[in-house]
Amino acid sequence: MKAIEIKPDIYWVGAIDWAIRDFHGYLTPNGSSYNNYLILDEQITLLDTVKYNFADVTIDNIKSIADPSKIKNIIINHIENDHVTSLDKIFSLTPNATIYITERGKKGLVRFFDISKWDIRTVKTGDTLNIGKRNLLFIETPMLHWPDSMMTYIKEDRILISQDAFGQHMASSARFDDEFINCSSISELEDAVKDYYANILMPFGALIKNKIEELQKLGLQIDIIAPDHGIIWRKDPMKIINLYLDMANGKSDMRVVIIYDTMWQSTEQMTLPIAQGIRDEGVDVKIIKLRATPLSIAVKEFWKARGCLVGSPTLNNSMFPTIAEFLSYLKGLRPKNRIVGAFGSYGWGGGAVKDIYEEFKKMGLEIIEPGIQVVYKPSPEDIDRCYEFGKDFAKKVKAYHTQF
Ligand code: FEO
């Protein structure tokens, strides 16, 4: 895609990655984009770069607007590979440029490149850079989501360059929220936001709330939020801020997601009567078979629902490997404000349900015990027990949901 002006003399010069489907293990069925921005001012300033295999794309976009050798400043808000691995190629075209980056960013950058001859200045929250008619304000956002992360606020244009925060993994010809919503839907955009938040930002809810409060205390007027992935928020930037606050505050849908795997369909046969019991209590329910579903989608659905039931057959006295993988991924994301339970089947010794509860306890979630188990194959009585288990779990989900 060609460069696009987002405000007078401020351009998106990034790249759309239509083909990516595996973003460091996170499934990206809708692709992604690497957004970076160029400001034409007395000092031409580039904000962020792109993934290494899109270096030529952003360089062409930059060249369509300005001579790269005239770039005076390069702001690096985040040093993860998808944003800096083209920096050396771009920097070779900008001999007069100074790089502005956080102290932790500089420490990381040295692991990527030989920076001994680069002019690098470190910045911290509150530091500003005058580039002519405009002033840039730097705001560190450590652990959102890397130690080096920061945002850059363009004061005169009221634009917040937010790096990963408020982004989405979505390739689109639309660059702005209003363009996307007009052609697609707000629900599709919100789903992409939740997917990204669940898989990348879930551990950082408290930090997100604090950082948004800090931005509000600084009194920043924001017309545009321009993240480094996906759609730029210009129609209603408060919408994405409020959506983030809702997620950080534990809001979710009043739904139960049943996430399971199965060997000889016994655990699978338990899911339908459980789901029926949940449904009959007036709670929405969704069933996900893990072996048929990428982890990142299962985690998104976990995040969107208030309650989760995990079902597993017993294999070698423990849970099924896909369930163990899912719980390991989930534990790393430090989920909060969700109510959970477990069910499963076994032939002789059992062990899966016990192991699932042990993992839940390590996560500190609201736990409903005991779970429900069947031996070998669900009998008609077991099916009735599953139905009642679903009903009872749904009642507890409804009660728990009132706290949020
Ligand atoms: Fe888009 Fe944390 O990199």
Counting from 1 in the atom list of ligand 1, the atom nearest the Cα of 229 is: 1
Helix (H) or strand (E) run with residue 129 in it: strand 128-130
Q: Is 82 in the pocket of ligand 1 (CB under 6 A)?
A: yes
Determine the pLDDT at residue 213.
94
Say which amino acid occupies 284. D
Give the number of other Cβ atoms within 10 Å of residue 265's Cβ: 12
The amino acid sitting at 305 is A
Q: Which of the following is catalytic: 26, 83, 100, 145?
A: 145
**284: helix, coil or strand?**
strand
Quote the pTM value.
0.95
In the set 100, 196, 197, 357, the catalytic residue is 196
Spacing of C-alpha 316 from chain mean position: 35
Pair of tokens at residue 211: 């950082």
Q: Which of 374, 339, 369 is nearest to 256 (CA)?
A: 339
Q: Which atom of ligand 1 is nearest to the CA of 81?
A: 3
pLDDT in tens, the chain (404 residues): 899 999 999 999 999 999 999 999 899 999 999 999 999 999 999 999 999 999 999 999 999 999 999 999 999 999 999 999 999 999 999 988 999 999 999 999 999 999 999 999 999 999 999 999 999 999 999 999 999 999 999 999 999 999 999 999 999 999 999 999 999 999 999 999 999 999 999 999 999 999 999 999 999 999 999 999 999 999 999 999 999 999 999 999 999 999 999 999 999 999 999 999 999 999 999 999 999 999 999 999 999 999 999 999 999 999 999 999 999 999 999 999 999 999 999 999 999 999 999 999 999 899 999 999 999 999 999 999 999 999 999 999 999 999 99
Give pLDDT, residue 6.
97
Q: What are phi and psi of 351, to 5 degrees?
A: 140, -25
Residue nearest atom 2 of ligand 1, based on CA coordinates: 80
Judge whether 139 and 125 are in contact, CB under 8 Å. yes
Q: Which two tokens stand for residue 219?
A: 């009194």
Look up 169 and say whether it is catalytic. Answer: no
